[in-house]
Amino acid sequence: MGEPAVGRIAQALRKLRDPTDLLSAALVLVLAAGFLTPTGAAWSDLFYAISGPAILVALWRGKATARGLGPGFFLPVALILWSTASVLWCTDPGPRTNAYLVDGFCTLVFYVGLVVALDQVRFRRLAVNILIWFAALNAVIALIGYPWRNGIGGRLGGIGETRQAILGASVIAVAMLFALFRVLNDKTWTSAQRFAGSAATALMLLFVALTQSRGPILGAAAGVLVLILWSEWRFWILPALIGLPAAVWLIDGAVRIGGLDRALHDIVIGPLTQRGTSFRPEIWRASLARIAQHPWIGHGVGGRLEYKSFTFPHDLYLSLLFYSGAAGLALFVGCVVLLLGGVLRRPGPERSLLVALWANMLVSGLTDYGQIIKGPSPLWYIIWLPIAFSVEFVTRPRVDGAVRLRVSGVA
């Protein structure tokens, strides 16, 4: 009984001699582990000890190379290098400042490895499945423990890299958009698979809503709207999305269901409104004042805002200005224009998914996020994964004038 298992393990290990398989295994491990490791430190240690070195070995051995890399690939590299280099002119360095050099290097390794690996259809499908089903498992575990850990009406936090409500909501939103895309567009799915995908999507949407994180909720809503508007089912889904809440409101107004009123107030309306603005306008004013001191190259990664108890600008765009200056923001805007523009110009069914991922990132970034090179971190899922998928999409060879679907079973 033991020999077949040992033989399979030995065969799997022999396959890792191939750089392509080694690269795929290393990235699958890090993508999956982010949803299950108990702490951020454990996930980081896994990357430092296993996944990161394996990615470097695979890239160095040379067989795992991507094709047709152009500005779309190198501009994000420039953004990572510039952000990392800003450590050198950090205006108020602390004991951890130099650690951002390691963070930037790890982010670069993850990004380059992911772009190269996505050239392989098998890895692409496996990575998407890992994202969907491990994120769904993460959401299920968090939802089961919600009444005891957070209490009804409390802010839901997950496990692994979703334990912090705001970042966790955005990470789960990324996986949810992959799942919804497949539900709406993957013709190879059976009815059972479509049902399972729909259930996973609903659970992840519930997770995002119960975090009560308003920026990520708006980002997820923007992404969902993009997928629906691009879907052939839009004339059925949009009326249902509008009609169902309206019907609940009308029924509640006519019958006055006490339990429903309390649930809406305790779980939805109250938590979303009682926190006010969460000091965001004050944080942003303080950030702009500090940005004005070093507008062109920023305060450097590792700099601290030092406004009350807040240490960073809580806005993606202000964070880019604060840490890496106008130069860093320009590089990011260049990535958006080049990659999102390239995605919009290329025909293909995955275009709607990538636009949805960008919408989620850009909208949710209005109210949060800090240093983009910190890593391993949830921003690898929120920012760098959509960027890598977009680079692969805009450089993929066309077939009969269109880009073939590779997220699903259609080669």
Dihedral in degrees, nearest 10, Cα atoms 398, 403, 408, 411 = -20
SS3 307: strand
pLDDT at 332 over 60: yes
Q: What is the pLDDT of residues 270-320, one digit of tens each?
A: 566 667 778 889 999 999 999 999 999 999 998 888 888 888 899 999 999
Residue type, 136: A
Confidence of residue 409 (pLDDT cuts 50, 70, 90): very low
- The tokens for 151 are 């209490």
CB atoms within 10 A of CB 333: 12
Partnered with residue 310 across adjacent β-strands are: 307
Q: What's the DSSP call for residue 397?
A: P
pLDDT at 403 over 70: no
* Nearby residues of 1 by Cβ (< 8 Å), 6 or more positions away: none
Confidence of residue 192 (pLDDT cuts 50, 70, 90): very high
SS3 310: strand
Q: What is the pLDDT of residues 60-98, one digit of tens each?
A: 886 555 555 778 899 999 999 999 999 999 988 877 778
CB atoms within 10 A of CB 404: 15
Give burial (CB, 10 Å; 0-12/13-18/19+) of 16: middle
Q: What angle do CA 233, 408, 381 make, to 5 degrees?
A: 95
Closest residue by Cα to residue 382 from 205, 174, 225, 209: 174
- The CA-atom distances, in angstroms, between 71 and each of 24, 76, 339 are 24, 9, 9
Q: How high is the pLDDT of residue 252? A: 58
Q: Supply φ then ψ for residue 402, to 5 degrees.
A: -130, 160
DSSP per-residue codes, 26-44: HHHHHHHHTTT-SSHHHHH
Q: What is the pLDDT of residues 91-124, one digit of tens each?
A: 888 777 788 999 999 999 999 999 999 988 899 9
Confidence of residue 36 (pLDDT cuts 50, 70, 90): very high
Q: How high is the pLDDT of residue 156? A: 87
Closest residue by Cα to residue 136 from 173, 99, 94: 173
Partnered with residue 402 across adjacent β-strands are: 399
Confidence of residue 410 (pLDDT cuts 50, 70, 90): very low
Q: What is the pLDDT of residues 220-243, one digit of tens each?
A: 999 999 999 887 776 676 666 676
Task: Please report which helix (H) or strand (E) contains residue 5, including its range.
Answer: helix 2-15
- The CA-atom distances, in angstroms, between 38 and each of 50, 161, 337 are 17, 8, 37
Mean pLDDT is lowest, of 54-63, 185-194, 195-204, for: 54-63
Q: What is the average per-residue pLDDT within 398-411?
A: 49
Q: What is the pLDDT of residues 160-181, one digit of tens each?
A: 899 999 999 999 999 999 999 9
Task: Please report which helix (H) or strand (E) contains residue 285, including its range.
Answer: helix 280-291
Q: How high is the pLDDT of residue 143? A: 93
Closest residue by Cα to residue 245 from 235, 230, 260, 259: 260
- The tokens for 5 are 């298992």
SS3 219: helix
Q: How high is the pLDDT of residue 166? A: 93
Q: What is the pLDDT of residues 310-327, one digit of tens each?
A: 888 999 999 999 999 999
Q: How high is the pLDDT of residue 306? A: 81
CB atoms within 10 A of CB 359: 23
CB atoms within 10 A of CB 100: 24
pLDDT at 21 over 70: yes
DSSP per-residue codes, 172-212: HHHHHHHHHHHHHH-TT--HHHHHHHHHHHHHHHHHHHHTT
Residue type, 50: I
Whole-angstrom distance, CA of residue 125 vs CA of residue 199: 20
* Nearby residues of 393 by Cβ (< 8 Å), 6 or more positions away: 342, 343, 346, 348, 350, 351, 354, 403
Q: How high is the pLDDT of residue 161? A: 92
Q: What is the average per-residue pLDDT within 384-390?
A: 96
Mean pLDDT of the chain: 85
Say if residues 104 and 324 touch (Cβ distance below 8 Å).
Answer: no
Whole-angstrom distance, CA of residue 324 vs CA of residue 91: 12
